[in-house]
Structure 1
Amino acid sequence: MARKRKGRDISGWLVVDKPAGMTSTAVVNKVRWAMAAKKAGHAGTLDPEATGVLAVALGEATKTVPYITDSLKAYTFTVRLGAATNTDDAEGEVIATSEARPTDDDIKAALAQFVGDIMQVPPKFSAVKIDGERAYKLARDDEDFEIAARPLWVEELVMIDREDTDHVTLEMTCGKGGYVRSIARDLGEALGCLGHVRELRRIWSGPFTASDGISIEQIDEMAKTPELDAYLRPLTEGLTELPEVKATAEGAVRLRNGNPGMVIASDVDYGEECWASLDGEPVAVGVFKAGELHPSRVFVLPE
């Protein structure tokens, strides 16, 4: 028999402003402990030295994680020009240097090639799997391997500061699966000067912003108190990318049992994914077909 997981049946989102030097998994574990929650997960890993938005889902909100993961995200990051590292960030070993330094105009012109639908090769020190093994483990063992390029949508990439000739700060809005370190590496190569990420901050992810984030220090101070619970955001904030339909009372019963249920919809097309509510509470996510929602995820909220 599976052991029953301890903790509270609490559902919602806690937006954390992750500090540098902490893994995303460590942040999730901290939140789960502080909220005494049964279940927690996050929507999109940040590198240990990166800061900014890490949206932690609790309880039934974990079922909405894919919709935040798939949404647009924005980053500000500073590129150190003139040096390449084996990790494509400041934590790695310098493997090549260059005396060349581009002008501001050179940088702005080069950014255009990284906007729109692009192909990107993830860093070798990343969690990408190669024949079942994490790339970073192979890289640490000095294994010789290649990572295939993968598609990425970049909505915007602009220069926002040039503190000196060795550094440039950029802001990027992109879709799922983007590696900022790869952008820095490839930009440095395109400019003929090499480059790596010195600092990285995620400023927003879907509906969540860094300015709304709570610090690790605050989480420690308010752990297991109603004051921390007050920072919990509704589960439905993870569904803002989907249209909402209204379930009938009978339809909600059927949906909660995993069956298609009647809903009232407007401006929703046949076959479109959406979520259903009853009296303001989320019931299910699914596909709309001929007046019914065919559920793919059902929310089981405490009474």
Structure 2
Amino acid sequence: MARTKKGRAVSGWLIVDKPAGITSTAVVNKVKWALAAQKAGHAGTLDPAATGVLAVALGEATKTVPHITDALKCYRFMVRLGAATTTDDAEGDILETRDQRPDDDAIRAALAAFRGQIEQVPPQFSAVKVDGERAYDLAREGERLDLAARPLWVESLDLIDRPDPDHALLEMVCGKGGYVRSIARDLGHALGCLGHVLWLRREWSGPFDADQGISLDEIDRLAHTPDLDAHLQPLELALQDLPQVTATPEGAARIRNGNPGMVIASGIDWGTEVWASHQGRAIAIGRYQAGELHPSRVFN
């Protein structure tokens, strides 16, 4: 006999404006508790010291997480020039300091090398796995790791403000897997002055903006009430970068059972990944082939 799942079968996205000092996992657990939800996850980890958009998926929306994880994201962050740290941010111990400071033009010129398709080495203190263990666990034990560079698409990276010679405010729009701390570290090396992140904030992630975010204090206040449910965003928002097709009634029945089903589409090439709706709601993600959707993910 199947076990009954605890909690409510609530689905959708809750956009949290994460404060500093808490892990992304702890935020997800708080949201899951406050909504008494059966299932929850997040789309893109933020470091404990970071703030801003943390998109929490609930129920069926967890099936759309990859589409937010793969989407572009915007970060605004302050780089402290003149010092390198063990963690590449202000949380770590200072490894080395230097007195020279670049001018604004030198910073703007150096940023050009960090745009487009780049290779980026993760920070020593990161969640990257090394022989089955997290890099940050090994780094805490004093081990110096030789981490492999990873590809990152940087759509834009600009100098926004220079409050004083020791600080530079930057804004970056990038793809998945980017480490802001690595940008600050590598920029500091490129400029010859060293650098680390003083603070960072994720302004938006895919379709979700910081202005939509709800605070943890507000989540606590509205926990277990319909007023918190009212903050939920539909799971369909995560699919906005995919073409939409409409399932016929007979096609919807087949698709919901995981089988290819007839859909109505226009101007979509064979093999394109799409999402199908029926009566205004998403029912599946899959590949469009000769008038049918071949589902890869089905929403209950």
Listed as ranges, the matches of 1:232-247 within 5 Å are 232-247=232-247
Alignment of 1:1-303 (within 5 A): 3-300=3-300
Deviations 1:110-140 (A, max 9, x none): 0000000000000010000111111111111
Give the letter aligned to residue 246 of structure 1. T
**For the structure 1 residues 192 and 296, does the alpha-carbon distance in structure 2 shift closer, same or farther, using more than 3 Å as the test?**
same
Offset at 1:2? 7.0
Cα separation, 2, equivalents of 1:268 and 1:214: 37
Question: Displacement of 1:198 after TM fit?
Answer: 0.2
| 1:159 partner SS | strand
Distance in structure 1 (CA, Å) of the matches to 2:267 and 2:215: 39
CA distance in 2, matches of 1:52, 1:268: 36
Aligned amino acid, residue 211 of structure 2: S
List structure 1 segments (4+ residues) > 3 angstroms apart after TM superposition.
Answer: 1-4
The one-character-per-residue Cα deviations of 1:127-165 (angstroms, maximum 9, x if unpaired) are: 001111111111111123211001000000000011110
Structure 1 range deviating more: 50-59 or 261-270: 261-270
Q: Which runs of 5+ in 2 are unaligned?
A: none
TM superposition shift of 1:9: 0.5
1:5 shift after superposition: 2.8
Q: What is the CA deviation profile of residues 229-270 of structure 1, one whole-angstrom value per residue up to 9, with x for unaligned ones?
A: 100010101111111100011111111110111111112211
Listed one character per residue, the Cα deviations across residues 5-49 of structure 1 (whole Å, up to 9, x for unaligned) are: 310001000000000001000100000010110000000000001
Separation in 2, partners of 1:4, 1:104: 60
Q: Distance in 2 between matches of 1:268 and 1:71?
A: 21
TM-score by length of 2: 0.99
Equivalents in 1 of 2:138, 2:3: separation in Å?
35
Alpha-carbon distance in structure 1 between the residues aligned to 2:144 and 2:110: 30
Residue-by-residue CA offset, 1:253-300 (whole Å, 9 max, x unaligned): 111110111111112211110100001011100011111111000000
Counterpart contact for 2:124–2:144, Cα < 8 Å: no
Paired AA for residue 172 in structure 2? M
Q: Following the alignment from structure 2 to structure 1, what is the Cα–Cα distance between the partners of residues 144 and 108?
A: 34
In structure 2, distance between residues paired with 1:22 and 1:143:
25
Aligned mates of 2:8, 2:128 — CA distance in 1 = 33
SS of residue paired to 2:48: coil
Unpaired runs of 5+ residues, structure 1, are: none
C-alpha distance in structure 2 between counterparts of 1:3 and 1:194, whole Å: 56
Aligned to 2:274, the other structure's residue is in SS state strand
Looking at structure 1, the residues matched to 148 and 2 of structure 2 have their Cα atoms a distance apart, in angstroms, of 39
Between the aligned partners of 2:293 and 2:198, the Cα distance in structure 1 is 47
**In the alignment, residue 290 of structure 2 is paired with which amino acid?**
A
The residue type paired with residue 35 of structure 1 is: L
AA at the equivalent of 2:190: A
Q: Number of paired residues? A: 300
TM-score, with normalisation over the residues of structure 1?
0.98
State the secondary structure of the residue aligned to 1:7.
coil
What is the root-mean-square deviation of aligned Cα atoms in Å?
A: 0.9
| Aligned-partner residue type, residue 255 of structure 1 | I
What displacement does 1:175 show?
0.3
Q: Distance in 1 between matches of 2:5 and 2:296?
A: 24
Aligned with 2:78: secondary structure?
strand
Rounded Cα–Cα distance in structure 2 between residues aligned with 1:127 and 1:151: 16
Compare 264-273 and 64-73 and name the one that shifted more.
264-273
